[in-house]
Amino acid sequence: MTYSYIAGTRTYQFADLKTVMAKATPARSGDFLAGVAAETYAERMAARMCLAQVPLKRFLQELLIPYETDEVTRLIIDTHDKEAFAEISHLTVSDFRDWLLSDVADTSTLKRVAKGITPEMAAAVSKLMRNQDLILVAKKCSVITTFRNTIGLPDHISVRLQPNHPTDDARGIAASMLDGLLYGAGDAVIGINPATDSLPALMDLYYLVDDVINQYNIPTQSCILTHVTNQIQLIERGAPVDLVFQSIAGTEKANKSFGIDIALLKEAQSAALSLNRGTVKNEFGESNVMYFETGQGSALSANANFGVDQQTCEARAYAVARHLSPLLTNTVVGFIGPEYLYDGKQIIRAGLEDHFCGKLLGVPLGCDVCYTNHAEADQDDMDTLMTLLATAGLTFIMGIPGADDIMLNYQTTSFHDALYLRKVLGLRAAPEFERWLKAMNIMDAYGQVQPIANIHHMLQNMPKHLLSAA
Amino acid sequence: MIMTKQEKIIKADPWQQLKSFTRARIAIGRVGISLPTSEVLDFGLAHAMARDAVHLALDVEALEADIQQQQFTTIRAKSMAPDRASYLLRPDWGRRLHEQSLMQLQNISQAQPIDFLIVVGDGLSSLAVSRHVAPLLAEIRNFLPNDWHTGPVVIVSQARVAIGDEIGQALNAKMVAMLIGERPGLSSPDSLGIYLTYNPKLGLSDADRNCISNVRPEGLQYATAAKKLIWLAKEAMRIKVTGVALKDESEVQEIA
């Protein structure tokens, strides 16, 4: 198949499908850095015109990264559900956009075809979609997962409580945890990014969170975001591990740079499932035990993008995620820096694309709506993105005291932000967690957070790490 | 009267005492479910400081004067990134010397190798460099072995860490210590990082260096950082390598 488009007197030629994809991508710094972006505005539109005419079937024939050398490609092809694909197999990328936006593609239809959609198809169609299209279609997708509560119900949004501390100080972590819980956050997961790599110190962190969850009987789950091999070892040593975390990317080589492959993730999943700590079962009679993080630019930063644009690489990471049935998958959209996503506009676009692609593929996508201080972005951009994503049915956001992560040195979303989204858009916490908030008098019968008195049960019976402060 | 009304509107959090355990923005209260005005403004100021740290150009002249006061000579250099915007977009340009700078350095390079070359780069925080480099050098001076040849302190603008490798190579240095402004956080706009690389040359990776991070009065003290650096440098001189093979045990053992 040749890829070209004639615009006026000029013929635009594209060497192959991955070139068409890259040049059709909305402008972003990472694709310029990789040397794959369109050189002119007209070339970008020509690439989109060309991409629009590509049949979806073509993505099963012309593989962007070779089957022989990349296990993510093999996963995508080997697990492609032909029966699910049959319903859309006659469409071009252009038709696919129209179909997705039409009323034919309702929630149950989208769920039925999800396993027939490859990441490349999702990425391709997203390149022809405007922000409102990405929002509208994502909103129709339903991905529901369970562990100790139910995540992803329509008109709900959950919060990952992220009580990080630069030296993993137990009292510092417990203080942020309590702050978040009293603001109604923490139903997605209580997840700590540790500063340490030491197994005994990590073990202490597992017990710290587990103690709090048990002491207050909170229907939520914990996670310590260290390397998957550490978590497997800690499971063997008897640590109370709820969710297993790992950063993942969309190519085998990029995953190798993270020190992982799909087999290792499978091993970790089995180890976590063997603990049987989840109390709520999903439609397959299991709990979802994995927590993944992703982000556009990770493949390029590992020099492992193979000429594929960063958004398509990102969508491929969701194929890896989908294979492991995660409870949560988090695109950390603005963390990587301005050489990949330069400003608020690029971060907002990337966040919406990631959420759309993830949901279309059937992955429970949340977003770390965030930026670093060397990116051209600020709190206004975060307000815009979180409002758009929550409108699109985002599964969860981060909750950090005052939006300022003092351990990772970046700005994300706060407990206040989550309350704002719930209030403005009428969204709710996971039902089991919401019942707990009400039982604890943190939330009133109408779902509003209540003033906390200093005789409040949680302040009177603080985690043992904080008792010296009382 | 107005104050009293405001206090009623702002719901304070009755767990203020927990603030002593963390610098995280906990117990900041709320108006409705939103941030009180004072919190929004505090946050805005912190972000402004961090933004300025990234974008305000390093005052090289003032820094030179400060460094020369510590009895070091200085020389200026620049990377291939012509300005801040391209510096941010092209990390690869920040890792390479401008042709002119490379020639200048090669011209002053001498046959006798420099034992311990100090390079100062603006990195992502000019604030860190202008505040902490001179006092840190004063401490480094205290710990430096007398028989080490140090050469001039190279001040390089629009710099990433790896540019120290090319500078070290051009000046025939056995070892380079890169002092560079780290990516600023909201509560730490002025963190200075130190990267020590033995046998610096083009093409090394971060695995070939040892890093000392968060040097500033609220973080790692100048004297502690300098002591650690010289401990690592002596050890590197002995085992002829830096990076993953060189473990920081400066607190465990002193090297004579």
State the average pLDDT over residues A177-197: 96
Q: A399-435: b or e for each residue (b if 16 or more CB lie within 10 Å)?
A: bbbbbbbbbbbbbbbbbbbbbbbbeeeebbbbebbbe
A150 membership: H or E segment, kind and range: strand A150-151
- How far away is chain A from the Cα of B138, in angstroms, using its nearest Cα? 28
Quick one: closest CA in B to A411, which residue? Answer: B186
What pLDDT sits at residue A7?
87
Contact A403 B25 (CB under 8 A): yes
> A5: which residues sit within 8 A by CB, 6+ positions away?
A11, A12, A46, A47, A49, A50
Write out chain A residues lying below 8 Å of B187, CB-based: 404, 406
What pLDDT sits at residue B6?
67
Best of A182, A257, A374, A459 to mutate (most B CBs within 10 Å, chain B): A374
The percentage of residues in chain A with a pLDDT greater than 90, rounded to a whole number, is 94
> B139: which residues sit within 8 A by CB, 6+ positions away?
B222, B223, B225, B226, B227
Contact A396, A188 (CB under 8 A): yes
What pLDDT sits at residue B255?
47
Contact A197, A449 (CB under 8 A): no
State the average pLDDT over residues A395-414: 96
Which tens digit of pLDDT belongs to each residue from A91-104?
A: 999 999 999 999 99
* Distance (Å, whole) CA B106 – CA B67: 22
Name which of B13, B26, B46 is nearest A176 (Cβ-Cβ). Answer: B26
Contact A47, A38 (CB under 8 A): yes
* Distance (Å, whole) CA A192 – CA A122: 31
The CATH code belonging to domain B59-239 is: 3.40.50.11240
- How far away is chain B from the Cα of A114, in angstroms, using its nearest Cα? 36
Write out chain B residues lying below 8 Å of A164, CB-based: 24
Looking at per-residue pLDDT, the higher value among A423 and A463 belongs to A423
DSSP letter string, A328-379: EEEEETTSS-TTTS-BHHHHHHHHHHHHHHHHHHT--EEEE--B-TTSB--H
What pLDDT sits at residue A380?
98
Q: Domain limits of chain B?
A: 2-54, 59-239
With an 8 Å Cβ cutoff, is B33 touching chain A? yes
Q: Which of A116-120, A214-218, A288-292, A451-455 has the lowest mean pLDDT?
A: A451-455
**Both structure tokens of A67:** 């089957």
CA nearest neighbour of A363 among A122, A190, A187: A122
DSSP letter string, A278-328: --S--TTSS---EEEEE-TTHHHHTT--TT--HHHHHHHHHHHHHHT--SE
Q: Of chain A residues 67-96, which have a CB less than 8 A from chain B?
A: none
Q: What is the mean pLDDT of chain A?
A: 96
Name which of A179, A374, A449 is nearest B15 (Cβ-Cβ). Answer: A179
pTM of the model: 0.94
Could you tell me the pLDDT band of residue A196, with boundaries at 50, 70 and 90? Answer: confident
Matching residue, tokens 């010296």 = A468
State the average pLDDT over residues A168-185: 96
CA A325, chain centre distance (Å): 13
Name which of A163, A374, A400 is nearest B124 (Cβ-Cβ). Answer: A374
Q: Of chain A residues 340-379, which have a CB less than 8 A from chain B?
A: 342, 372-374, 378-379
CA nearest neighbour of A138 among A442, A408, A352, A324: A352
Quick one: closest CA in A to B124, which residue? Answer: A374
Which tens digit of pLDDT belongs to each residue from A371-398?
A: 999 999 999 999 999 999 999 999 999 9
Write out chain B residues lying below 8 Å of A165, CB-based: 22, 24
What pLDDT sits at residue B249?
77
Which tens digit of pLDDT belongs to each residue from B142-162?
A: 999 999 999 999 999 999 999
B137 membership: H or E segment, kind and range: helix B126-143
Q: Which residues of chain B have pLDDT under 70?
A: 1-7, 251-256
* Distance (Å, whole) CA A161 – CA A396: 10
Which tens digit of pLDDT belongs to each residue from A220-256?
A: 999 999 999 999 999 999 999 999 999 999 999 999 9
* Distance (Å, whole) CA A159 – CA A324: 21
Q: Which domains are present in chain A?
A: 145-439 (3.20.20.70)
**Does A63 have pLDDT greater than 70?**
yes
What pLDDT sits at residue B1?
45
Beta-strand relationship, A150-151 and A328-332: unpaired
Could you tell me the pLDDT band of residue A470, with boundaries at 50, 70 and 90? Answer: very low
Write out chain A residues lying below 8 Å of B184, CB-based: 373-374, 409
- Three-state DSSP at A383 gives helix
